[in-house]
Amino acid sequence: MTWTGNEKEEMAQAALTEHDLRAKIGAIKAEIKDEYRGASDRPWIIGFSGGKDSTLVLHLVVESLLELPFSERTRPVHVVANDTLVESPIVQSYVDMTLAHLREALTGLQLPIEVIKTSPATDQTFWVNLIGRGYPAPTRLFRWCTDRMKIRPTWEFIKRETSNYKEVVLLLGVRRNESSARAKVAKRYDNGGRLNPHNDIQGCLVYRPILELSTEDVWEYLTTNPAPWGGDHKALMALYRNAAGGECPIVIDADTQPSCGSSSIRFGCWTCTVVEKDKSFRNAMEKGFEHLIPMAEFRDWLQKFCYTVSNRMPERRNGSVGLGPLTFEARQEILDKLKDLEQNVGISLISHDEVAAIKSIWQQDRSSNLIRKVDRLIALIAK
């Protein structure tokens, strides 16, 4: 076979690119091993969202540890995934599958790795705040969800570890040339060293192994190397193809909340009303997940319903006059429609504990409203 000049040039460039990537990955793995074998016993925490970047960090850490002698695999590693309890069922199914494969493989790999999934406390879930307390659906100006559902659960786990070990190392899959929000995270921890103190969590050091890799580098490595815990990354690639987007990453900074609900296509909560249209969820529904269309329709309805003035109380929760929480009738309507939606799609969307917490909050709110009304009546009589 005779190759044309252009074909030879393309082949040479491909070989050069492959060699360059091998060199980059080799340097990253050498750094991971060096850091892991350091004198400190600080445990590692890998923030795992299930997306390409956090998957690559996990992949490289597992590979690196497997290349170390068994006697040197002493530092504990925690793989921490956060479940907001309203994640896209498509994405959450993939994440749960990956974590299950990882847990199963770890026993045979003889690695000191523990898999953990965090989630918001029952009284801070999306539905307890929205249906229970009557918070309107989140917006860019009133983004009450990220702190309660993403930041706090992860912070609480990290703080527990720092109380046990004094210091921990948090590994993040952030890269300089990703989105502007990711670049902000990358720049936030450019304090001059490999490990940089977390700006908000005392005793937490941030380590970013793949900081300088490009998106092409990430995909090239994942598509050409099997997962060290078994299998491959084809399901991850299919997830991205179907959604044409990216993941909402592990969020540990209040200042970087725009990574969720940004205008770019990203995986996130199916209830997300911070964006005008959830493109990733809708794109996926056109690729074999048509049965989830009612969930997207419910999300659109919820966005409009919560900001209809007639569905809101005339005073805020602190008693001041102004557009307040959802009325009790509106909250009940949302709960009824959510339960109907569960039956329609065949997926559990709200837990019994959440419903119990909602009913308890309603009872407290009704009592508080009654007391305020009596106080106002007494004040009027006194005049």
Average pLDDT per block of 10 residues along the chain, 383 residues long: 54 59 96 93 93 96 97 95 93 94 92 95 97 94 90 90 89 82 58 83 93 95 95 91 61 50 60 79 74 93 96 86 93 98 96 97 85 58 59
**Alpha carbon distance 186, 209 (integer Å):** 11
* Confidence at residue 13, expressed as pLDDT on a 0 to 100 scale: 52
- Spatial separation of the C-alpha atoms in residues 240 and 233, rounded to whole Å: 11
Structure tokens at 114: 């523990």
Cβ atoms 129, 142 nearer than 8 A: no
Q: What is the pLDDT of residue 40?
A: 86
Strands 168-171 and 44-47: parallel
pLDDT of residue 2: 56
Tell me what pLDDT residue 254 has.
54
CB 86 within 8 A of CB 274: no
pTM value?
Answer: 0.83
Domains and CATH numbers, the chain: 13-136+144-264 (3.40.50.620)
CA distance 96 to 71: 31
Nearest-angstrom CA–CA distance, 333 and 119: 26
